[in-house]
Amino acid sequence: MKLRISRWRFKDRVVERLLLLSGVLLIAAFGAWFMKARSLDSKINLGLSIPSRALTFDTAVVQSGFEWTLPVSNKGDETVRVLEFETSCGCTKLEPTSCELQPGETRNVKLTLDLTFVKVDPGSLAEVLFNATIVPRIQVNHQEVRGVGWRLGGRVRPLIATTPQVMTFGGSSAVIGSREQEMVATVRAADDISDIQIENSSMELFGASISAREDVREYRLHVRPVASLPVGEFGGTVILRPRFLDGTSAPPISYIVKGEKLSEIDAVPPIVNFGRCLVGDRSAKRVLIRSRIGREVDRIVVSSIDGLRVSPAPEPHGEGGRMLVIEQEFQRAQAFQTKLCIEVQMKGGDASRVELPVVAYVVVK
């Protein structure tokens, strides 16, 4: 019995020693991996270097092609191959995109920033902060690793501030028919801007002009849609070109103009809806045809289709418009949908056209 206990104690000691040895081996392996990783990290951090002064630009104006130089040095004792420079911002472009640096070598990497992506307040001239991260993906000791990145930062300032930020011809300011209409935006310039000119605009949509106010660093931007602008939504840009005090041209700035052009003729209601009807029913609806700018309607010609009967209402309308009576006798079950083409002659000779949708849902009794 004692011998048996002794043998079991012997086995326990063997197991304990095996466990201890396994633990020592595991710690050693982890230590070797850690030292290797630390050594690799050391190579990444100390091998590639950019001076801190090169990672900060003072102040740049909003532009699509701001250029900056990054001197990348290899301060290690091994050749480092940069497979790619990754960036945190799609507005950043680097050249070359890859390179190989010998120990002690420095390579200038050209950085181009599209600062039009920076979220400046279009109504303010205040500077905003900009930053981006540049990370080298490198090959060291036949291993591909993502290195420790550098943080590039600076300030971005707008050259002009506009009010409103976007010019919109809409709502009560919508363009109507052939009526001439103009909107004006206020443009404030930075202190180092001497002049602002219009370089280009969407001339097929609108004309634009700009004028300076006396004794104030403000301008008035006038925009007027062209008479031939088609009915519907429109959008374009006015390209403004500021000029610095020394006479050099500043980067161009796009000012957005959008809106909607309405036909002068307004139909009330805009859709004739007979609703749910029975086969054999005869129904009539009234529609007012009028000018949105208050001109008097002289004559109306309607192209009637699908069996609709259109006639003028017996009573006159007091707003200068014309009331139409639209009648239909529904002969069969169907989902009825059509359009009336209406040509309207205004007092003074102008003519306009408008389409009036007509719908109904006809069922059997």
If asked whether residues 135 and 173 sit together in one domain, one would say no
The reported pTM is: 0.69
Provide the CATH number for the domain around residue 53.
2.60.40.10
* pLDDT tens per residue, range 268-307: 999 999 999 888 888 999 999 988 888 888 889 988 777 7
What's the angle, vertex CA 92, arms to CA 88 and CA 95, rounded to 5?
120
If asked whether residues 227 and 148 sit together in one domain, one would say no
Closest CA to 235 of 173, 184, 170: 170
- Last residue in a domain, options 122, 157, 192: 157
Is 10 inside any structural domain? no
Is 1 inside any structural domain? no
What confidence tier does 308 reach under pLDDT thresholds 50, 70, 90?
confident
How many of the other CB atoms lie within 10 Å of CB of 281? 16
- 């719908």: which residue's tokens? 359
Provide the CATH number for the domain around residue 178.
2.60.40.4140
* pLDDT tens per residue, range 248-262: 999 999 999 999 999
- Nearest-angstrom CA–CA distance, 235 and 168: 9
Q: What is the mean pLDDT of residues 215-227?
A: 89
User: How many structural domains is the chain composed of?
Assistant: 3
* Domain interval for residue 308: 265-363
- Nearest-angstrom CA–CA distance, 232 and 234: 7
Is 16 inside any structural domain? no
Is 355 inside any structural domain? yes
Is 255 inside any structural domain? yes
- Percent of all residues in the chain with a pLDDT value above 90, rounded to a whole number: 42
Q: Which of 35-49, 88-102, 312-326 has the highest mean pLDDT?
A: 88-102
What pLDDT score was predicted for residue 13?
A: 60
How many of the other CB atoms lie within 10 Å of CB of 149? 15
Look at the alpha carbons of 114, 120, 126, 127 in this order and tell me if their dihedral is positive or negative: negative
The pair phi, psi for residue 204, each rounded to 5°, is -75, -10
If asked whether residues 246 and 299 sit together in one domain, one would say no
Is 40 inside any structural domain? no
* pLDDT tens per residue, range 9-35: 545 565 566 555 565 555 545 444 433
Is 18 inside any structural domain? no
Mean of the per-residue pLDDT values for the chain?
84
